[in-house]
Amino acid sequence: MRKKILAANWKMNLSYADAQAWLTEFKSGNGGMHEVEFRLYAPTLYLHDLAKSEVLSVGAQNVHPSVSGAFTGEVSIPQLISVGASSVLIGHSERRLYFHETNAFLKDKVNACCQQDFSFIFCCGESLETRQSGEHLDFIKGQLEAAILHLDKAHLPLLTIAYEPIWAIGTGQTADTTQINEVHAYIRQLLEKHFGEEGSEVSILYGGSVTESNAQSIFACPDVDGGLIGGASLNAHTFIELAHCFK
């Protein structure tokens, strides 16, 4: 079933003390919003403590597809599970761009999640150049064909998709609702075409400079099921307020 999801992506921000303070503020402020699923994608080294608090569902910003082995600096799905994390981001544009993660590597991560029954948000989105060339839909289709459309239907409940146009991430420049809905509707059609009815049940989030001032119109788009929130998630109060922006 399509769920309303608000996912905080802290990226490489906040100290351990800041994270504890955020949690305290979140705990006292989110009463009664049971219709929205809150998730927190925090730095890996905070996951254990954040998950132990049982205040909200906690996930990692990255994972290696192997179960264990000589991969210095990496972390595996069993390790994430062992500290209470329940999901992971895959394919964020910053991982693709700065860490040269290829479609093939992302497919390995997706397959590892499916094999180990671990939920994930798969991120896709085009650059400004691709958008201006008018090829953004084909580009996004390519990203999904490379890592998602081969999945077995049985694994779809593990999948959430986030559409994040690269030009809107951290720039203060949000895609307008026509642009957002065009892409979300396109992704949903693709999922339906490949997976049938089950495909239409996948939640599709929007990400890229979502704030309190634009969230209401973005979340009102018929094919938007929530947001992947960077900057505006660093303050617990602001993050919670976004939940009030769902109709």
User: Contact at 8 Å (CB) between 57 and 38?
Assistant: yes
Chosen residue from 191, 203, 230, 246 binding ligand PGA by CB under 6 A: 230
Identified binder of ligand PGA from the candidate list 83, 183, 228, 245, rule CB under 6 A: 228
Smallest separation (angstroms) from ligand PGA to the CB of 199: 23
Residue 199 corresponds to which amino acid? Answer: G
For residue 221, the SS3 value is coil
Smallest distance from ligand PGA to CB 72, Å: 26
* Residue 140, CA atoms < 13 Å, CB-side half-sphere: 28
Comparing CB distances to ligand PGA, the nearer of 180 and 229 is: 229
Closest-by-Cβ residue to ligand PGA is 230
Using the rule CB under 6 A, is 229 a contact of ligand PGA?
Answer: yes
Binding-residue total with ligand PGA (CB under 6 A): 13
- Are residues 226 and 7 in contact, defined by beta-carbon separation less than 8 angstroms? yes
Which C-beta is closer to ligand PGA: that of 161 or that of 195? 161
How far apart CA 19 and CA 144 sit, in angstroms, is 33
Q: Strand, helix or coil at 84?
A: coil
The stretch among 67-75, 142-150, 190-198, 228-236 that binds ligand PGA (CB under 6 A) is: 228-236
> Using CB atoms within 10 A of its CB, is residue 193 exposed (0-12), middle (13-18) or buried (19+)?
exposed
Least separation in angstroms between CB 87 and ligand PGA: 14
Q: In the range 203-222, which residues lie near ligand PGA by CB under 6 A?
A: 207-210
At 203 the three-state DSSP class reads strand
Convert residues 149-178 into a mask of x (bound to ligand PGA by CB under 6 A) and - (unbound).
---------------x----xx--------
- Maximal CA-CA distance, the chain: 48
Phi, psi of 223 (to 5 degrees): -105, 15
Residues designated catalytic:
92, 164
Element of type H or E holding 7:
strand 4-9
Under rule CB under 6 A, residue 199 binds ligand PGA: no
Query: How is residue 114 written in tokens?
Result: 């499916």
Of these, 59, 125, 199, 231, which contacts ligand PGA (CB under 6 A)? 231
Q: By C-beta, is 199 or 240 nearer to ligand PGA?
A: 240
Q: At what angle do helices 236-243 and 16-29 cross, to 10 degrees?
A: 40
Name residue 206's amino acid. Answer: Y
Closest contact distance (angstroms) between CB of 130 and ligand PGA is 17
Examine residue 91 and tell whether it contacts ligand PGA (CB under 6 A): no
User: Rule CB under 6 A: which residues touch ligand PGA?
Assistant: 9, 164, 169-170, 207-210, 228-232
